[in-house]
A and B are shown apart, each in its own frame.
Chain A
Amino acid sequence: MIAGKKAGIVSTGRALPVVRLTNFDLEHMVETSDEWITTRSGIKERRIISGDETNSGLSEIAARIALEKAGLKPEEIDILIVATVTADQLLPSSACLVQAKLNAHRAAAFDLAAGCTGFLYGLTVGQQFIETGAAKNILLIGVDTLSPIVDWTDRNTCVLFGDGAGAVVLQRVEEGRGILASKMYSDGTKAELLDIPAGGSKRPTTVRTLEERAHYIRMNGPEIFKFAVKIMVESTTNVLELCGKKPADLDFIVPHQANVRIINAACKRLGLSDSQVLVNIQRYGNMSSATIPVVLDEALEEGKIKQGDLLTLVSFGAGLTWGAAVLNW
């Protein structure tokens, strides 16, 4: 029996599509160069779904790995949250499709849409159910398959994104460990900085929306860049203050992997050294809600993160949304 009342991540898993798309491949698709993409974003390659790979399929693989590490059977899951903006279908939720694949028949399953901040929103939402005792085992999946909805003729966006999934199991953990503080934030007045205008109920698919290429991601890069650097610094400082800590106390910051230049600018302002920052963007690009659980899973596998380490997870995305959490691993 665990004595504590805090929620924590007890296991992780990841799943990545097989196909790699390198910057050199992109040079044949749009007017760009490996040099531009590398210096402006840090990305060298990204994974792209192909064949029968899907959002729910990647989720299932990542979930099975995390469940096995936690020693849990699918039927022991109380709540299954899929943080995503790219479900297989508009209806039903990806979470219900994943539930069926896993046969997690006891779980309440739902999707959570918060742009690239989905995983951090899911973490905070899951934390509440665990801490109140309303749920014992929560499976949280951060997954996005953006490749079908990025405009492969728009060099401003298509070079930045990739597909992938990460899963974690949330449970009560020992006193002093787990999620020490977490915060979610939104600013809907900035919705137009990153959106997909058509395909919803306001502008359903018509010949016109297709001709306007309005089903693809549109983004104001420089404005998002400024917003991202600012909120990474602010929200990291805020959540650390909530538990009486400073950036210097961190073993690792686990930032959303959107652009290495955003990460570097924010970490410089926070006074963090390179060795305190976990980065894998060079291999995967921006996988939206999947970035943080995948970086975490890799860093655990490599033995970088150890028990007792102090971490801050921080993310930002369409909405605008952002969030941060402090964890004692």
Chain B
Amino acid sequence: MEVLEIVKGLISEQLDIDEEQLEMKTTFEDIDADSLDVVELVMALEEEFNLEIADEEVEKIKTIGDIVSYIEKQIA
């Protein structure tokens, strides 16, 4: 499965939102995710892709596209 699809799936499950609403340019604010939702999402991503995302990296992430490109770089 493509990284984007997996990320969308994780976000929609965690925050109970329709995957249709999620696009590359969607921000955390757009989907009402607060800082603890982001922490939870980071945990889910770390488990799913078996990697560790440093705090500095998390701070740079603003959109779903940012997540996807970060992960694609890590697993490439």
Contact = CB atoms under 8 A, between A and B. Distances in A.
Contact of A229 (B34, B40, B55): B40
Interface of B: 34-36, 39-40, 42-43, 55
B34 A226 contact: no
B52 to A, nearest CB: 10
Nearest to B42: A226
A40 B36 contact: yes
B38 to A, nearest CB: 9
A222 B36 CA distance: 8
Contacts of A40: 34-36
B64 to A, nearest CB: 20
A40 B39 CA distance: 12
Nearest to B46: A226
Contacts of B40: 229, 265
B61 to A, nearest CB: 14
A39 interface: yes
Nearest to A229: B43
A74 to B, nearest CB: 44
17 contacts: A39-B34, A40-B34, A40-B35, A40-B36, A222-B35, A222-B39, A222-B55, A225-B36, A225-B39, A226-B39, A226-B42, A226-B43, A229-B40, A229-B43, A230-B43, A261-B36, A265-B40
A225 B37 CA distance: 11
A156 to B, nearest CB: 12
A323 to B, nearest CB: 21
Contacts of B43: 226, 229-230
A230 B39 CA distance: 12
Q: How large is the interface on A (under 10, 10 to 19, 20 to 34, 35 or more residues)?
A: under 10
Interface centre among A39, A40, A229, A265 (most CB of B within 10 A): A265
Contacts of A229: 40, 43
A244 to B, nearest CB: 26
Interface in A282-303: none
A225 B35 CA distance: 11
Nearest to A223: B55
Contacts, number: 17
Nearest to B36: A261
State the 5 A-B residue pairs at the shortest beta-carbon distance, nearest first: A261-B36, A222-B39, A225-B39, A265-B40, A226-B43
A39 B34 CA distance: 9
B26 to A, nearest CB: 21
A247 B55 CA distance: 32
Contacts of A226: 39, 42-43
Nearest to B38: A222
A39 to B, nearest CB: 7
Contacts of A265: 40
B13 to A, nearest CB: 9
Interface in A101-142: none
A76 B46 CA distance: 52
A52 B34 CA distance: 40
A68 B35 CA distance: 46
A265 B40 CA distance: 8
Contacts of B36: 40, 225, 261
A222 B35 CA distance: 9
Contacts of B35: 40, 222
A178 B55 CA distance: 43
Given A229-B43, A261-B36, A265-B40, 14 more contacts: A39-B34, A40-B34, A40-B35, A40-B36, A222-B35, A222-B39, A222-B55, A225-B36, A225-B39, A226-B39, A226-B42, A226-B43, A229-B40, A230-B43
